[in-house]
Each structure stands twice: as structure tokens, then as C-alpha cells.
Amino acid sequence: MEERDQILIERYLSGDLTEAERNDIELRRLGDPLFSQQIAEYEMAKEALKAYQRDELKKRFQRRDEVLDKKTDRGSSGGSVIWYILFGVLLVGLISWKLWLSPDKQTNEPPAIEQQQDNQELQDSMPMQETPKDEIEESPQDNNRQNEKRYQEIFAENFEPYRDDLVEPTSRGDDLSAIERMEVAYWNEEYDDVIKIYEELSPAMKQNDNLRFMQANAMMAAGRVKQGAIILSEIIRNGRSKFVGEAHWYLALAYLKSDDVENGRKQLEAYLRLNETKHRTQAEKILKEVN
Amino acid sequence: MSVLDTVYDAYRDDFLRWAGQRFPTAGRDDLLDAWHDTMIMFYEQVRDRKLTALTCEIKTFLFMIGYRRLIRMHKKSEKIDLPGEIDVNMQVDHSINEFTWDDEDAEKHEFLRAAVEELPEKSREILMRRFMDGQSIDEIMVGMDYSSQNAVSATLSRSLKKLKDSIIEKMALQKGWKNETRS
């Protein structure tokens, strides 16, 4: 092909021809299969440029996401993912250890996350109950007990299952799927039903961290704080739910309820590093108090 | 591009929240993918001058494109109820119907993209300026410091030919490879 034709085709593809020139090309295409084939090949080159630009735009948006997420503490670089995974594994291990493997009440260790009535029973059987009354007025045990009571109060004062338009059901009526029924039950604060309906979900849906977040909240509302906390820590570790940020808040409350102030503090600090938070004022106030 | 970034940033989080409510099981990555695709489609429509004016707010327009994208992504996996407001109450610009979601052939997309990537940087730049950014010969001459319009035209046609030849070569290789694996 002559260079003159190449330039003509380039101008044709970039829409730079006059109407007369474009008509000439169209006529030539009709009468010359080889020329038509060559134009089709050049059109594919233009398609390739589009594909390339599409990929470049995608990369550009991913870079913007990193910047935007960094502001909200949701960075997802490879390195930080590994740290999140390690942190998550550590967290789950720690919770498991706290909850199940270390229930030795003789050491004055705070009880693990349990229902409030269970906590009271455990507190009643703790050695601090036997502290002689003629000892100093505020023994460390007394302080511990007061702190523990205060953490329970913090939980009671601040815990409310997550509620905003993200969990508002979009479908109502009789012919609802299990997910929709779960949403409606959650919205109607029927938390025992939420827990039951969750069990009806398919195995794949049970892995969905958005639904698990609702499940964790429902469990905490129903007094099953321990199970709720484990789910929340997994949601944070997975990092794929839109509720990851709020999961820090609820996990902090769960830790405080179990008298694990150190981990509670860490979760509150992580929560306050986020840009968008629903419970910022409460979290700041609690952090100030526990510090 | 900075305008595109501004629009992207301004509505991204609102879209994630809004779409998250309507697709409760969608993960954050799915929602982000839909938002990326939405912005790409929007950009391409403006670039190709298929979209020149809107009769609704840009936010509403983008959200509807994203919503359609998510429906398409989730159509096969679960039941989706169209919220009434989308069909009835929202005065969405009719040009939204211009948007089509072609599920590209991933293999073809990859070798097309690779052919562009393999071009010398200057060839790639001049082609992108001309065909994607819609720059005139004069604009390219100034922007890339060419000495004359003829030099721009000649470089453009050479670069385009190089790209076309590279694609044909890749297609032939792929065809040969496919024939080999079949036989």
C-alpha cells in the first residue's frame, strides 16, 4: 500500500476526512475487496488502542482507589494484605485463647466474652470476692472489679446493632428470598430470627461477609457476644466487606465487654483512623476513658 | 483527565454505599469493579462524542450505569429486584440506553492490548493522542514538538501500520497455535 493511502486511511479512521473524501473511500471499499480488508485491519488497530486505553483507565482508577482508601485506612497493597492476614490470624488465635483455652478463674483473669448473666456468675465465684474487708480501701482487685463493671456498662451504653440505609431492606412482602427475609428481620430487630435465617442460607452465601456482619450484630444483640466477636475479627481479616470499618467498632465493644481493654483499645484506635465512621464521638470518648 | 478524576472521587464512596444497599451480597471489589466500568464507559461515550449533554444529574446518570453493570454481573447468580424508583421516578437521561456492555473476548483484548504496549513509546503516544484524545495534526505537532504537519502525518501512518502489522502477526500466531492444539 502506498504511503498516500496509509495517510488517507489514518485520516479516515480519525474522522478527519471531508464528506467527499469519505464517500470516495466508501465507494472504493465496495469495489475493492483488498482495500476493504486493509481498512478492516486498520480498524482493528484502532480497537487495540481502545483496549489499551481501557486498561490504562482501569489502572488509573485502581491507583485512585489506593489514595482514597489510604485516607480511610483501607489500603490494599500486597504488603499490607499480608500484614492484615497475619494480624487477623493473630487476632483469631488470641480471641480463641482468651475465650476457650484460658478459662482459669483462679488467676483473677477477666472472663472471656460471655453473656452478661454468665459474667455475673463468674464474677461471683472469683477469688476477689474473698478479699478481707479490713484491707486497704481500694485494693487492685477492687479496682479490677470496678473497671470490669465499667466496661460492661460501656458495652451496655454503646452497643446498638448497626443500622442505616445499607441494611435497609429493598424488598418486602411474602415472596422473599432467604437473604431478603434476613434483611427484613434485621431491620425489624428480630435478631433471633436473623440468626435462624442465616442458617438457611446456602454455604456460599454464608461466606458473604456483608451478611456475616449482620449475623455478628444479631448475635451480639442476642447476648452471644463471643460468637459475634469471632465473626467480626474474621470480617476484618478478610477485608472484603463494606462493613470492615464498622466491624472495628463492634469488635472493640466486644473486647471491652470481655474486659480485654488492650485489644479493645487497639480496635478503637484502628476505628478512629478511618475517615468515615458512624460512631466517632462515642469511640473517642471511650478511648479517652480507657486510656 | 483531572475532571474525570474529580468525578470519580466525588461519587465513588456514595456509589459504593448506594449500590451496596441494593446488592447486599456484593463484595467491595465487585462494587469497585462496577464503578470502574461505569467511569470507563462514561469516559468512552464522551470521548466518542456519543454523549454530549445530560438532562439529569451526572450522579444519577452514573449510578444508573453502575446499577445496570451490577445487574449484569449478578444476573446469573441471584435474583435481583429492580427498585421501583429506577424505572418510575428517576428521570434518567435517555442517552443511558446508548450504553452497552459488551463482554469482551478476554483473549482478543489481551493480544490487542499487548500489541499497543509493544510499540515504541513515541509511536504509542502519537496514536493515543490522535485516536483516543482526538487531537488534530496541529495539536500533535505542538504537543510532541514535531517540525511540520507532514512529519506528524508520516509518523502517524507509520505507527498505525506498525500496530496493524503487529496485530496481524499476533493473530496469525494465535491461529497457528490454536490449529496446532486442535490437531
Residue in the block written with cell 465487585: B30
Nearest residue, CB atoms, B21 vs list A7, A44, A168: A168
Task: Encode pLDDT of A151-186 as tens digits.
Answer: 888 999 999 999 888 888 877 777 788 888 898 999
Spatial distance between the Cα atoms of B4 and B10, rounded to a whole number of angstroms: 10
Lowest-confidence region among A46-50, A200-204, B80-84, B161-165: B80-84
Residue A107's pLDDT is: 41
pLDDT of residue A58: 93
Judged against a pLDDT cut of 50, whether residue A213 lies above it is answered with yes
Cβ atoms of A267 and A255 within 8 Å: the answer is yes
Rounded to the nearest angstrom, the minimum Cα separation between B123 and chain A is 12
Write out chain B residues lying below 8 Å of A240, CB-based. 27-29
Overall average pLDDT of the B35-57 stretch: 88
Give the count of alpha carbons within 13 A of A118, CB side only. 13
**pLDDT tens-digit series, residues A245-266:** 999 999 999 999 888 889 999 9
Q: Has residue A275 got a pLDDT over 60?
A: yes
Average pLDDT over chain B reads: 81
CB contact under 8 A, A242 and B31: yes
Cell numbers standing for residue A45: 488497530
- Contact B104/A at CB under 8 A: yes
Decide if A14 and B157 are in contact by the 8 Å CB cutoff: no
Taking an 8 Å cut-off on Cβ atoms, the answer to whether A168 and B132 are in contact is no
Highest mean pLDDT among A74-88, A209-223, B101-115: A209-223
The CA dihedral of B138, B140, B145, B146, to the nearest 10 degrees, is -70
pLDDT for residue A27 is more than 50: yes
Q: Any idea which of A163-172, A201-210, B71-80 has the lowest mean pLDDT?
A: B71-80
Q: What is the number of CB-based contacts under 8 A between chain A and chain B?
A: 135
pTM over 0.80: no
- Report percent pLDDT > 90 for chain B: 40
Tens of pLDDT, residues A118-145: 444 434 433 333 333 444 455 667 777 7
Spell out which residues of chain A touch residue B156, defining contact as CB-CB under 8 Å: 7, 10
Candidates A6, A10, A164, partner chain B, best to mutate (most B CBs within 10 A): A10
Test B16 with A211 for CB contact under 8 angstroms: no
Q: Is B70 on the interface with A (CB under 8 A)?
A: no
Nearest to A96 by CA among A85, A112, A84: A112
From A265's Cα to the closest Cα of chain B, the distance in A is 27
Least confident of A28-32, B61-65, B105-109, B111-115: B105-109
**pLDDT higher than 70, residue A101:** no
Mean pLDDT, to the nearest integer, of A104-126? Answer: 41
In angstroms, what separates the C-alpha of A140 from chain B's closest C-alpha?
46
The pLDDT tens digits of the residues spanning B150-172 come to 999 889 989 999 999 999 988 88
Contact A62 B36 (CB under 8 A): yes
Does residue B77 surpass a pLDDT of 70? no
Do the chains contact at A14 and B131, CB–CB below 8 Å?
A: yes
Q: Does the distance separating the beta carbons of B168 and A209 come in below 8 Å?
A: no
How far apart, in whole angstroms, are the C-alpha atoms of residue A11 and residue A13? 5
User: What cell numbers appear for A37 in the block?
Assistant: 480488508
A170 contacts on B by Cβ (under 8 Å): 21-22, 81, 83
Average pLDDT in chain A: 79
